[in-house]
Amino acid sequence: MSETLLDVKGMSCPLPVLRANRALRSMAGGARLRVVATDRAAIADFQAYCRETGHHLLAWSEEGGTFSFLIRRKE
């Protein structure tokens, strides 16, 4: 399945989640969004965001200070 990439590296809380929210609103249900961020607070922010909105945080990882979040938009 294809995914859309959103690069928010260098942005601080709350901008990564706000940008992801804007991107997800324009996507079809079930679509995937990969967010790449450098703000360590994004870990807790995306977990809470997905819990509150019903989107699914499928996976997240960190490599060299860069965080990657894979989110599936709710149906």
Q: For residue 50, indicate whether it is catalytic.
A: no
> Annotated catalytic residue: which of 11, 13, 27, 41?
13
CA dihedral over 41, 42, 47, 52, signed as positive or negative = positive
Burial of 3 from C-beta contacts in 10 A (0-12 / 13-18 / 19+): middle
* Cβ neighbours, 10 Å, residue 13: 14
Residues acting as catalytic residues? 13
